[in-house]
Chain A
Amino acid sequence: MRRLVQALLIAAVCLFAAYAARAAELSAPERVSAGTGATLHTRGSGEATLWIIGPASVEKKQVRLGEDVNLQPQSLRIAGRYLAIVRQGAATDSAWFEVLPAAPANVNFLARPSRVPVDRRDVISGVAFVLDAYRNLVLEATPVRFSLSVPDAPAVTRIESSKLGIAWVRLDSTRKQGAAQFIASAGDAEVRRVVQETASDPCNLRMRATSAGNHIVVETDPVRDCSGNPVPDGTIVTFTQVDAKGRSTVDARVKKGIARAVLPSSDNATISVASGVVLGNEIHLGGGQ
């Protein structure tokens, strides 16, 4: 009889232990996509407290054990590892699950520089960060399309696969100046930057001189770079005249593509032209030359 009571007691303790162990059981999906919601399964009975601890938030709610717990999409927007803990009295159970970035929906795009001379190799860089709709970096390899185009010139397009959410490219500047549209796109997301492609140093700088009463008027041909782009207005062109009275210089500004200056008259003078470090032609006036 005594042994029977002992056996019954042991059986009762084991049943209680098994019941207590089942009092708060929790299971979660291994992975979910950001912003899609998730369902946690609980076992047991009675009221319990559930905590959801994420990379950027902690949420607490009362749940009934034995029923499924639906996590709302807005609770799971930030990608990363989440810990769900259910607690009923002294009984606790927990489960890890991972929220993965959703499909690419945004691109952050760094384009440098904002201004660049034409016809230079590897001078334009673009770095694209591929993000989902909730600004999570999409770590899976994603094709990113880079496109650089200036008006009236064919676009240069390059497709690069992102690595850990980042794709980058280096491009040559085109031979034609203008406001280049530099576009990075991934999925439906597209970001546009403007890179101003400007004329390079003047090339074949040439001028002519004409006598106008008490002055000599010097004027350049249209000032262009070696690719044929007109240099921007305001560019300094220096005219230098050397004669018996000394040296005269005028730092003229290019206006409508042409630089023009008035120099003192002279019977025998040498006039030269330069812009920055580029020299142009030289003219000898008078003196039988």
Chain B
Amino acid sequence: MKRILPVLMILLVVVLVAAATVGSGRLIRATSPQGAVEQLFAHVRARDYKGAYSYVAAASNVDLPAFTRDLAGKDGSLRTYSALAEISTRVLNESPNEANVRANLEWATAVGPFYDTRDLKVVKEGSDWRVLWPLEKAPNLPPQVIPVNYLRWDIVRHGGEDDWGAQNVEAPRVRIISMNAIEKDGATVILGEIVNEDTVPGFVSVNATLLGQNGSTLGEESSFDKISHVLLPKEVSPFRIDFPGIRLAAVKNVRMQPSSLLVPASADPVMGVLHQRLEQVRGHNVLAGELMNESGETVNIPHVLATFYDDGGRVIWVSDAYLDRALLPQVPLPFAVPLRDDVAPKVHSYRVTVNQYSMDRPL
């Protein structure tokens, strides 16, 4: 009896490991268009790109490395820090040999969920269905040297041996140039813009405190990532501060606290935001356009912030979107920032700014 129990345990472990190994690599035949798409993304979720590739139609003209890069990301982009969390598919139309399937994907990323919708063409190959993978052909920039000679600000701070009273370098002067308080979905939202009025860069944040009757504090929040934190001289950034669960009617006063720190920064890279336009995508309003990195350095995670104004020039909404692809030098990258459908009719103009997170540069 003493020996039987360990032997049984070892056998059980071997069986479980074998079952798990066989199960993860097992390819299930795709007998329907929806099944092909679901199986493909199920393997992507398990990071089994080779398995997922087996559901790609030969006519796609895409090899495994390119397919893997397309789904797993590259160049330190946001996609490389994400995992496919949820998949839902819907057949848009189907014929005996061809079908269109919409895949709604939810990626879990370092900055929150990232939603992606792909309309995929599925074709019948023999008795199985395969996905025609639409690989986007990104233009390749020819090898070249791009001279970058933008300035950089470094800081020498107060030394311990300095005499008493020797002044330190001061934080940059920042100013809130507009502010608006609105209510959306039962939450109070504080919107506005802040400018760095100084001649040095600053790390900026905006805190707001909502005060109710008798001056009591209803809530205190910061702009978090709905702001460009690093502002170069004369740069303007929008900000948005959400107070979930606090009705605007209960707010009697708002106390704004902009703050700034002097930080080392670089004037590079310069990013153009081209062909911005409001349009409808699948029934929803978006502000679309292309980003153009005019410098020579890859921006790993671009973050687009859009400010929307009414006909009186008042900020009525601030929206943002992270892009899951890296912004390569001189290669345009499309973006789409969602716009609330109830705000869209009031939008008279808008302004887009871009945050950049680059691996090789802390700020």
Contact = CB atoms under 8 A, between A and B. Distances in A.
Interface of A: 108-115, 129, 191, 193, 198-199, 201-202, 231-237, 245-253, 255, 261-264, 275-277
Contact of A255 (B150, B271, B274): B150
B276 A276 contact: no
Query: Ordered nearest first, which 5 A-B pairs have the shortest CB separation?
Result: A246-B277, A276-B234, A250-B272, A198-B199, A236-B235
Nearest to A241: B274
A262 B233 contact: no
Given A248-B275, A250-B294, A253-B150, A234 B233 contact: yes
B102 to A, nearest CB: 27
A237 B233 CA distance: 9
Nearest to B175: A277
Interface in B221-237: 232-236
Given A235-B199, A247-B276, A249-B272, 18 more contacts: A112-B167, A113-B167, A113-B170, A115-B170, A115-B198, A115-B199, A191-B165, A233-B267, A234-B151, A236-B232, A247-B277, A249-B273, A250-B271, A251-B235, A253-B150, A253-B232, A263-B272, A276-B195
B170 A235 contact: no
Contact of A277 (B149, B166, B177, B267): B177
B302 to A, nearest CB: 14
B233 A236 contact: yes
Interface string B36-49: 00000000000000
Given A232-B233, A234-B232, A251-B353, A114 B168 contact: yes
Contacts of B149: 255
Interface string B212-256: 000000000000000000001111100000000000000000000
Contacts of B273: 248-250
Contacts of B289: 246-248
Interface residues of B, number: 40
Interface string B342-363: 0000000011110000000000
Given A115-B198, A276-B236, A246 B169 contact: no
A231 B168 CA distance: 23
B150 A111 contact: no
Residue of A109, A198, A252, A253 most packed against chain B (CB within 10 A): A253
Given A110-B167, A199-B199, A262-B272, A249 B235 contact: no
B197 interface: yes
A109 B235 CA distance: 34
Interface in B260-285: 267, 270-277
Nearest to B168: A114
9 contacts: A109-B165, A114-B168, A231-B233, A233-B151, A235-B199, A245-B275, A250-B294, A251-B270, A253-B151
Contacts, number: 114
B198 A252 contact: no
B336 to A, nearest CB: 13
B19 to A, nearest CB: 55
Given A108-B164, A114-B168, A249-B351, A275 B234 contact: yes
Interface string B159-188: 000011111111000000100000000000
A248 B352 CA distance: 9
B169 A261 contact: no
Contacts of A110: 165, 167
Nearest to B228: A251
B199 to A, nearest CB: 4
Interface in B273-332: 273-277, 289, 294
A18 B2 CA distance: 112
Contacts of A235: 199, 232-234
Nearest to B354: A251
Contacts of B200: 115
B199 A264 contact: no
Contacts of A247: 275-277, 289, 350
A109 B162 CA distance: 12
B169 A115 contact: yes
B115 interface: no
A246 B232 contact: no
A110 B167 CA distance: 7
Contacts of A129: 165
A234 B153 contact: yes
A199 B352 CA distance: 27
